[in-house]
Amino acid sequence: MLRLYRSLLYLYPPIFRRQFGTEMLAVFRGVQAETTEHGIIPQGVLYVRETAGLLVGALQEHLRAVGAVRAFLPSPTRRFAMHAEFRFPKITAVLMTLILGGIILAIEKARMIQASYSQGAPLVPLETARLTFFPTVALLLVIFYAAGLVGWAVLFALRRTGVHRLADMSAQQK
Amino acid sequence: METLPLTETVLFILLSLSGQPRHGYSILKDVEKMSDGRVVLSTGTLYGALRRLLDDDWIERFEEQDTSRGRQAYRLTPQGRQNLQLEVSRMKHLTRLATLRAAKQEV
């Protein structure tokens, strides 16, 4: 679980991870050690709670980072360069893609089983399943990345309007 | 940014820090104890809230000197304490009002 916890921490923006990662891991270790004494069910509850907390927390931190217009303030050395701490880490994109792929795979599998057994129909041939599965995954990934692209485009357009100059300069200098 | 009224999580964290500075694990346990086990924070929720409170200067972070491990601990700032008092006053007022209204209805 500790390995999973450490991996999930990579979903957070780098600045958050640098600031709190080690501490969060230490606190989790403490809670885990304490829960181990109480049996399997409390451990299961802990793992579910922690996983959900990390997923939601990471999403909130990314939304905050994207929503913060100050992220697009020009750097003193390079115009249009985004601050390093707000860069979308590659590992996050890879993990999100894997999670999305896993969810789609599970849904598709469940749909196949349901369709086969509920109507007494013969099992869906593997070739047919492949034919429907891969285009679905590809389409969803295209939609996913297109939505991301639109989001970045909107933020970029906002930056060009100069609205970013209204951001809190004192916080930027901290 | 934290605004009044506070969420239950933030209120419990501030209450936990109002008595003494604490580190993350200690805050988790204290919140659980204060709420009689009703509020059990995950580390993700706790550190998300701590980050917001640090950004708003309601709490500050410092390294504990009296431990060998040099753990990071958190304490309320004067602004944080003032906001906590404001929230407590708001809740007191609300409770008084609710008690009065409920009593009137019973009569």
Top mean pLDDT of A48-62, A124-138, A144-158, B73-87 is at B73-87
Q: Would you place residue A79 in the very low, low, confident or very high pLDDT band (cuts 50, 70, 90)?
A: very low
CB A88 within 8 A of CB A4: no
A28 plus A59 within the same structural domain = yes
Residues in contact with A170: Cβ distance below 8 Å, sequence separation at least 6, in sequence order: none
Q: Do A19 and B51 touch (CB under 8 A)?
A: yes
A56 plus A107 within the same structural domain = no
pLDDT digits 0-9 by tens, A111-141: 777 776 676 666 556 666 666 777 777 888 8
Domain final position from A36, A67, A98: A67
> What tokens appear for B25 in the block?
């694990």
pLDDT digits 0-9 by tens, A18-43: 999 999 999 999 999 988 888 888 88
Domain final position from A67, A100, A117: A67
Q: Do B43 and A28 touch (CB under 8 A)?
A: yes
Chain centre to alpha carbon of residue A133: 23
Average pLDDT over residues A65-94: 54
Domain final position from A67, A96, A113: A67
Domain of residue A14 covers: 1-67
Closest CA to B73 of A54, A143, A26, A99: A26
Report the domain count for chain A.
2
A92 plus A63 within the same structural domain = no
Q: How many CB atoms lie within 10 A of CB A117?
A: 10
A39 plus A95 within the same structural domain = no
A165 plus A98 within the same structural domain = yes
User: In chain A, which residue's Cα lies nearest the Cα of B49?
Assistant: A57
Q: Do B25 and A31 touch (CB under 8 A)?
A: yes
Q: For chain B, state the CA radius of gyration.
A: 16
CA dihedral A113, A118, A119, A123 (to 10 degrees): 20
> What tokens appear for B73 in the block?
């601990």
Classify residue A28: in a domain, yes or no: yes
CB A24 within 8 A of CB A9: yes
Q: Do A54 and B50 touch (CB under 8 A)?
A: no
Distance CA A117, CA A145 (A): 35
Closest CA to B43 of A45, A53, A14: A53
Distance CA A158, CA A72 (A): 9
A110 plus A174 within the same structural domain = yes
Look at A75 and B42; give whichever has higher pLDDT. Answer: B42
pLDDT at site B29: 94
Distance CA B28, CA B43 (A): 8
A109 plus A171 within the same structural domain = yes
Give me the domains of chain B, ranges plus CATH numbers: 8-106 (1.10.10.10)
> What tokens appear for A69 in the block?
């217009």
Distance CA A92, CA A9 (A): 10
A98 plus A149 within the same structural domain = yes
Classify residue A8: in a domain, yes or no: yes
A133 plus A57 within the same structural domain = no
Top mean pLDDT of A65-69, A143-147, A167-171, B27-31 is at B27-31
**Tens digit of each residue's pLDDT, chain B (107 residues):** 667 788 999 999 999 999 999 999 999 999 999 999 899 999 999 999 999 999 999 999 998 776 556 578 999 999 999 999 999 999 999 999 999 998 877 76
CA dihedral A17, A20, A21, A26 (to 10 degrees): 180
A170 plus A91 within the same structural domain = yes
Q: Would you place residue A143 in the very low, low, confident or very high pLDDT band (cuts 50, 70, 90)?
A: confident
User: From the candidates A27, A45, A48, A49, which should be mutated to test the interface with B, based on the most B CB atoms within 10 A?
Assistant: A27
Distance CA A10, CA A17 (A): 7
Q: pTM of the prediction?
A: 0.60
Query: In this complex, which of A20, A31, A171 lies closest to B47 when CB atoms are compared?
Result: A20
A18 plus A61 within the same structural domain = yes
Q: Which residues pair with B22 in a beta bridge?
A: B74
Classify residue A2: in a domain, yes or no: yes
